[in-house]
A and B are shown apart, each in its own frame.
Chain A
Amino acid sequence: MNETKKQLFKKGMKDGIPIGLGYFAVSFTLGIAAKNAGMTAFQAAITSALINASAGEFIGFTLIAANAGYLEVMIMEAVANARYLLMSCALSQKVSPKTGLLHRMLMGFYVTDEIFGVSVAQKELKPIYSYGVISMAAPGWTLGTFLGVLMGNILPLRVVSALSVALYGMFAAVFVPPAKENKVVAGLIIISFVASFIFNRATIFAGISSGIKIIILTVIISLGAAILFPVKKEE
């Protein structure tokens, strides 16, 4: 590894630490849900290691608890995780066209809300940076789920509560700096906050899952902005 690669990996690790901490808190509660679905700590841990998706796993565990059909599980997973399709499209424009298939397949495995968040903040997304992030974030997710099944409610609620905002803090650190430079982005963030709030509180939308709400709002707001404020290509 040459020096710049090492530095990139380290930078990824540094960005991955808060993700890992946040993951630990979130996945701990996920472990409790898995336990309620009758799963063992081992089964819950491999689910987390393979799937890396909070909403997707919550829905999965709920369906497993209900002894749902396989097709139903497949459809609900696709719906709950559809936003990753958009994120993956966006990331495809962040990596160099020369990036090999194997790297793309590995990076694709970890398209999560949080890892996506730090990835898009890169000028150009290099696989080695992603691996640094993953090395810190992924263990937190799997370990948290495992311990959640085993220890249930040992961790004080106050600590879980405090850790749970780590992920949102990280999101803010990604979307605020560009808003400072670009007035359109700043306006979009305010619109997103307001629209998201209305969508979450209005009773007519109560039947829609949060994953679907995120997709609908993202597509409508981003598409509107793309048509009204097209971005000129910068070199």
Chain B
Amino acid sequence: MEHNVYIYIIIMAVTTYLIRVLPLTLIRKEITNVTIRSFLYYVPYVTLAVMTFPAILESTQSPVSGAVALVIALGLSWMGKSLFQVSVFSCVAVFLIELILN
């Protein structure tokens, strides 16, 4: 059976949108349960940390440049640098290191 590309796109879009929008529109009140509140407090940091490592090592041409970028990103963030500065310096680090490596 031949499938229509636009039907594929619509199915993907509707499914993804429902997942994203339902909690945000249905949960209108502040959650009072301490465990759920605590869970939701920790979720963002855990999820971002899980997504960052070890994926950053695989995102660059060499794991070394990815590792250096991670160390720089962690260090600059610790020093309180802005999101933009942290990102830019991580990119520059990768570029320079790969320039030296190759």
Contact = CB atoms under 8 A, between A and B. Distances in A.
Interface residues of A, number: 104
A154 interface: no
A150 interface: no
Given A93-B37, A162-B92, A165-B91, A172 B11 contact: no
Interface of B is mostly: helix
B19 A218 contact: no
A216 B48 CA distance: 13
A230 interface: yes
A188 B20 contact: no
A15 B26 CA distance: 27
Nearest to A194: B53
Interface string A48-62: 001111001100100
Interface of B: 1-3, 5-9, 11-13, 15-17, 19-31, 34-56, 59-61, 65-66, 69-70, 72-74, 76-78, 80-84, 86-95, 98-99
Interface of A: 14-15, 17-18, 21-22, 39, 43, 46-47, 50-53, 56-57, 60, 63-64, 67-70, 73-74, 77-78, 81-93, 95, 97, 101, 104-105, 107-109, 111, 113, 116-118, 120-121, 157-159, 161-180, 184-185, 188-189, 192-193, 195-197, 200-201, 210, 213-214, 217-218, 221-223, 225-227, 229-231, 233
